[in-house]
Structures are given as structure tokens and as C-alpha cells.
Structure 1
Amino acid sequence: MTTVRTALAGARLVLPSGVVEDGRLVFSGAAIEEIGGERTAGDLDLTGYTVVPGFVDLHVHGGGGASYAAGIAEEALTAARTHLEHGTTTTVASTVTGEIDEVCRQAAVLSELVEDGVLAGVHFEGPFISPGRCGAHRPDLLREPDPALVRKLVDAARGTAKMVTLAPELPGGLESVRMLADLGVIAAVGHTDSDYAKTLEAIEAGASVATHLFNAMPGIQHRAPGPIVALLEDERVTVELINDGTHLHPSVLDLAYGTAGAGRVALITDAMGAAGMGDGLYPLGPLQVRVTDGVARLVEGGSIAGSTLTLDVAFRRSVTVNRLSLSQTVRSISTVPAALLGLADSTGSLEVGKNADLAVLDSESYELVAVVRRGEWIRGAERFTR
């Protein structure tokens, strides 16, 4: 089988060392072969475009009208493909609260897609969360984080579990955090009523991620800083942020970056099935969600129910609204989450030997125009090859 060698020239490249204008990148097969070198006659001209590493989403529930929580392989493939076409070349599938046995069944289905290379892992969001901060999770299905139950979910994923979100203040919470850390699974603090002191205990026990920081947790009070301050100030913690203009005011996102820095922020979508679709009714696990003007809310109660965000939009907002640099944005949308998942050797940055996972953006509008995953053009090839 002949290996296809493709050279992109004239592009702005966002590399770990900085931004290079009029750059050249060559990929052969699934990997990046060369960065730099002299332009040749066969190179594809990407003048006016910016090439960044493919996006890595730690936290996404669905897209394209499909949900990972359905526990149906075809739906999971649709969701993954939808986000792939929007630049997300590495996806962790997130479940939602359900009956334990049903979530275990979903995990078994998703684990097969991890083994096939479609997904990068499974994230369990719920049922081990606070009833007072449950958001778009059914309150009657919530459970205390008994380590035995948490372990049951992790085992159901057959080695593909990457993260479990839980409320550490609940009975069994700290014990479960310690167990997850021992298993090499990320323990994430989220959907929590934890105070500052308890959150610090969770971090000491091994919690290393804040699930969609600011959302579904107590706000900052001047005498009760709560979990947000504890999570922001500790260098061991990576904070998830949803930059869709609905979950966070731009100034709040700026505050998080000013405190934690791009090296501790992971931009996520928290997207549900409506991502890449239009307004209407959609399922989210056992609940119904109505999307109006792109904002997803529960039919009953009106709580925000995930997002309809895709990471190309989050990238564009970060650069154009929040005025983050290209390097900062790439760190948060690719490099940091790839490292959290243990994939830093293969993806998350443009470096020789790593996967040819690329997102190509218009250098003026930052609109996504092309995607390459492991050397395969997913979309946009005709723009440069005709």
C-alpha cells in the first residue's frame, strides 16, 4: 500500500515554540513527517490560512442529533463524526445520570469504539453528584459515590474510563477520589455543593479536574470562597471552561485565564445531541431538552442542559472575543486536554512524529475550513487540491 505524502506550504503554523508565518508542514501516512524545509512545486498552497493541532474535547455528550448516552454504536459514530467535522480529532464520550446498570451497558458499547480508535475514552458525569446542583440530571437517579458503585462503572468501561465527575462532599466522595487516582482515572470535582475546605481535601486526595468550572457549583463569596477558588488556585488542577457565550460571561472566562493560565485550562463543549443541528426537541439521557436560539434547556424546569457548542466556535470566540493569543488557545483546546488523557506523545501539538491531526482556519475570520485526522482529509481537501 502506497503511503501518501502531503506538504502544506505558506500557512501560519501554531507550534509549541510559537507562531510561524509562511510555514511548511509535511505529513506522510498518519503522522507529521517534517516541519519547515524549502517549498516545492507539489506543495499545497495554504497562504492566508492558519494550521493548528486538531481539537481535543474532554467532555461531550453528543452531536448531530445523536447522544452517547443512548448506548447505541451508530449514534455514537454520528456524534463523533459531527464533532470531527468541526475540528475535534480526539473525543472523550460523556455519559449522563441513569440507572447504574444502564450506564454500565452504555460504557460497554462506548468502550468498543475506543478500542476501534473512534473515541479516546469514556467520561462518567453522574450519578454521583449533588442533588442541589444536578442541572440536567434526573434527581431521582442520583447516587452517593460509594466506591464499589464507582468502581462498577469504571470496570464496565473495560479500561477505557478516563474521567469520573463527582461531588466530593457526599458520603464516599473522598474515598472514591482516592480510588480513582489509584486506578489512573481522572477524578473531577463537579455538580457539587462542596465548600472551600472540602474541595481542598478532594484535591489532596487526588482530584485533578474541575468539571465546567463555575457551572453547577456555588459561586464565590467573600467569606466563603467555595470550590471555585480552591480549584482555580491549585496548580495541580485543570479547569474545564465552556466558551459558548451562554455558560460564562467573557469576563469570567478572562478571570479564569488570569488566575490559572492557559496551561491549566481545557476548553470543552459539554455538547448534547443538538450540536451541529438546529433548534428543536432532543433527548439527553432520560430527559427532554428544548433548544431555542442555540441554547439548550430542560423542558421541565428550564435548567441549562449542556450546550450546542462545537470547538471550532470555541476557538474563534477565544481569539476574537476574549482576545487570547493563538498559542494560548491552542494550549487550552488541544495541548492541555491531550496531556490530561495521557496522549501528549501522539497528539495535541504540531510536532514531527505526532499524529497528523490538523485544523485549518481562515487567518482573518478564524472560520474552520478543513480538518485532517491521522493524515486523512475529513473535510476541505477540495479547497486546496483542485
Structure 2
Amino acid sequence: MSDAIKGNILTPAGWIHGELTFDERIAAIIGSSVDPALNEEVYILPGFIDLHVHGGGGKDVMEGGDAVHTIAAIHAKHGTTSMLATTMTAPPEDIDLALRGIGKAATARGKGEARVLGAHLEGPYINSGKLGAQPPYARSATLADVEKLEELAPLRVITVAPEIDGHQALVKELSDAGMRVQVGHTLGTYEDGLAALEQGARSFTHLFNAMPGLHHREPGMVGAALAHATYAELIPDLLHVHPGAIRTALRCIPNLYCVTDSTSATGMPDGEYMLGRHKVMKCMGGVRLPDGTLAGSTLTMDQALRNLVGLGLDLADASARVSTYAADYLGLQERGRLAPGAFADFVVLDRDLKLKAVYIEGELL
């Protein structure tokens, strides 16, 4: 027997005031068009989709084993209904360990956990001169290297520095194989970025961070993204990117989507935590290396939504940027939207945009 919930429901066709019936998937949405500002009922939005998650609840993806299950449960409590567990640049044995854990978690969703869709391989195929908070184990790649890792876990997204010798060809090979390639942790030029897009790269990893910035005579990798990208990920914790730069990206990149880049410190008190092989310190809402470099975040997707609305986005637009566009980027038509046949992944928010309930594939957390 199907369950049902009532309120202001955000559908692909707009807001509907009515009832959503569901079991594992959405059975029906019945109601009439509404301006949700005209009543005081709850908002029902698509569940959040986070394509860049390193940790949470004191656990780091690079630990392997069952760490991903703890991470998926912590983020589910903040409205994330599906996610990509994200690796760090590390020695091969560390990456293998992490991917085995991700591969196991991706085969079955535990009770109270976000769906782990697979892995985002953020390292090691990056530029050693633009590590950011990545440990110093960057190396170049071949298709054979990636195919070996693909045996351990589904690689849904791979971050690549395209200026490294051989990597432009790799971008094309990976793209032709159906993987989503992102440009990131790069010292590449505007021309390198444009070439990568022409070879099949689809997005940019944490836009503005760990890449050359925009200059009017040297547009850099940021310039390539702003001028040509349809998709890019961005960390809207208001520490990684200035609100003015966020607004610039929103005007330029149609399907800009948000990620947390969250670490093991997410949901935990201030103190010392691990990010891959790095020790990092959480203090005053930020996570940093000992030299002060930002090292991921403690952002959650419900706060990302509130931050976007605080910057002036309407709720429907903000919702798309924490859910629908990420699903579209991965080619997932059954997630990131409230429509009959889609998975019953949704969040219920009060009028202050605080979470009241989270449903993942029909399960109420």
C-alpha cells in the first residue's frame, strides 16, 4: 500500500499544492498549481544529490571498509539522498582500499543511508603544482590505469588536470567510455580548458578553487569555465568562494550545481581530523591544513540550499542546483526530480527551510 504526503510540491512543471503518493518510487502527484508563498504549508523538494563527499561523522572515505556507510548516514540526516564517495590523491594501495569500500557500499544501501551511486576519483590524476589540500601523490594516467580501478567501484566522475602530458587524449578516451570527466586541481590555461571540453570533459571540479583565476588578458581555467561550460560544481559554504564570484558563475554557467566537498569533520566538534593522509583542523566552521589552506568543508546540503536562497535565488532555482542538475549531469532521469516513476527521494522543509523529514527510496529517516 502506498504512503502519501501533502504540501507544496516542487515538480518539473512547477509548484503544485496537493498530495504525493509513493512507495519505493513516486506513484502519483495530484493537485493544482500554486504560488507557495501564498500558504504556510511545508515545502516538498527533490532529495539533495552531492557529487563530492570525502567524509562525515568522523569517518573519511580513504579509510575504506565500512567508513562510507557512516558517511552516507550522516549526510542523509541533512537531506542528501544520493552521493558520490570521493577519493583523495594517494598511493595506489590507499586508493584501492577506498574504492573497495565504495564498491561494496554501492551494491546495497543500508537503512538510514544515502544511496552511494559510486565514486568520484578526485585524485591522483592532477597537477602536483596545484594540490590544494591534496597529499603529494599526483601522477599521470592511462586508460588502462583507470580501467583497473573501475573493477573496484563504479567510477562516475573523474577529475583530471588536462595540461599533463597524455591527459587530453585520456579525457577523450574516458568520455568515450561513458565516464564524466571534470577539469580540476590544474595549472592549465584557458586554451587547455577549452581543448578538454572539446575532447569531452563535461564539468569543472570545485570551480574557482585549485585552478588559475580569471584575468582579462589571461582568462585561465576559470575563464574557460565561465565562457564555455554547461556544468560545473561549486562549494557554496561562503568560505571557498566569495558571494560575488558565486553570482558570476550563476549568470555564466546554466547548470551550475553545488557540492559540499565535506570531510570527516562534518557533523563533529572542533578538533583534529584526517583527510586522506593529511591531518586537518576544524575550527569556527572551516577545515584547514596547518598552513591555513582550506581543506574541504563541513558543509551539508541543507545548509547549501539555505545559503543559495540567502544569496537571492528563488527556492526552485536553488533546489535544482542541489539536486536536479547533478542528476542531469550523471544522466540520472529517475533521481533529482519529483515525478511519477522517479525514486521517492525527497525532503520536507518548514517555512524557514529547516528539515522536517527525509525520504530515501521511500524510506522515512
- Superposition TM-score, scaled by structure 2 size: 0.93
Which residue of structure 1 aligns with residue 199 of structure 2?
Answer: 205
Instruction: State the 4+ residue runs in structure 1 displaced beyond 4 angstroms.
Output: none
Q: Does 1:335 align with 2:324?
A: yes
State the distance in 1 between where 2:172 and 2:150 align. Answer: 14
What letter matches 1:97 in structure 2?
T
What letter matches 1:24 in structure 2?
E
Is the contact between residue 296 and residue 305 of structure 1 (CA under 8 Å) also seen in structure 2? yes
What letter matches 1:267 in structure 2?
C
How far off is 1:110 after superposition?
A: 0.9
Is the contact between residue 360 and residue 368 of structure 1 (CA under 8 Å) also seen in structure 2? yes
Which residue of structure 2 aligns with residue 138 of structure 1?
Answer: 135
State the distance in 2 between where 1:173 and 1:369 align. Answer: 45
Cα deviation, 1:196-235, whole Å, max 9, x if unaligned, reads 0111111111110100000000110010001112122225
Is the contact between residue 14 and residue 326 of structure 1 (CA under 8 Å) also seen in structure 2? no
3-state SS of 1:207 partner: coil
How far off is 1:116 after superposition?
A: 1.2
State the distance in 2 between where 1:266 and 1:61 align. Answer: 17
5 Å matches for 1:120-139?
120-139=117-136
State the distance in 2 between where 1:296 and 1:277 align. Answer: 11
Cα deviation, 1:21-41, whole Å, max 9, x if unaligned, reads x332111x2111111159xxx
How far off is 1:47 after superposition?
A: 5.4
Which residue of structure 1 aligns with residue 164 of structure 2?
Answer: 170
What letter matches 2:125 in structure 1?
F
Q: Does 1:367 align with 2:364?
A: no
State the distance in 1 between where 2:184 and 2:174 align. Answer: 15
Q: Name the count of aligned residue pairs.
A: 354
275, 285, 307: which is aligned to 2:297? Answer: 307
State the distance in 1 between where 2:167 and 2:21 align. Answer: 48
State the distance in 2 between where 1:37 and 1:260 align. Answer: 33
State the distance in 2 between where 1:212 and 1:340 align. Answer: 15
3-state SS of 2:116 partner: coil
3-state SS of 2:337 partner: coil
State the distance in 2 between where 1:187 and 1:271 align. Answer: 20
What letter matches 1:83 in structure 2?
H
Cα deviation, 1:88-137, whole Å, max 9, x if unaligned, reads 00111001011123202321221121111441111111111112210111
3-state SS of 2:129 partner: helix
How far off is 1:147 after superposition?
A: 3.6
What letter matches 1:107 in structure 2?
L
3-state SS of 1:131 partner: coil
Is the contact between residue 145 and residue 166 of structure 1 (CA under 8 Å) also seen in structure 2? no
Cα deviation, 1:219-262, whole Å, max 9, x if unaligned, reads 10010001112122225x4110111010111111111111113x
Which residue of structure 2 aligns with residue 384 of structure 1?
Answer: none
State the distance in 2 between where 1:283 and 1:294 align. Answer: 16
5 Å matches for 1:1-386?
3=1, 5-9=2-6, 11-20=7-16, 22-27=17-22, 29-37=23-31, 48-73=41-66, 75-117=67-109, 118-139=115-136, 141-157=137-153, 160-235=154-229, 237-261=230-254, 264-299=255-290, 301-319=291-309, 321-344=310-333, 346-363=334-351, 365-378=352-365
How far off is 1:154 after superposition?
A: 2.9
3-state SS of 1:232 partner: helix
3-state SS of 1:133 partner: coil
State the distance in 1 between where 2:65 and 2:293 align. Answer: 26
Is the contact between residue 168 and residue 192 of structure 1 (CA under 8 Å) also seen in structure 2? yes
What letter matches 2:91 in structure 1?
E
State the distance in 1 between where 2:239 and 2:269 align. Answer: 16
3-state SS of 2:151 partner: helix
Which residue of structure 1 aligns with residue 36 of structure 2?
Answer: none
Query: Please, which runs of 5 or more residues in structure 2 have no aligned partner?
Result: 33-38, 110-114
Cα deviation, 1:305-337, whole Å, max 9, x if unaligned, reads 000000000001111x21111221121111111
3-state SS of 1:120 partner: strand
3-state SS of 2:261 partner: coil
State the distance in 1 between where 2:19 and 2:312 align. Answer: 26
State the distance in 2 between where 1:130 and 1:81 align. Answer: 32
Cα deviation, 1:146-204, whole Å, max 9, x if unaligned, reads 443333333332xx110110100011211211121121111110000110011111111
- Superposition TM-score, scaled by structure 1 size: 0.88
The alignment yields a C-alpha RMSD, in angstroms, of 1.6
How far off is 1:302 after superposition?
A: 2.2
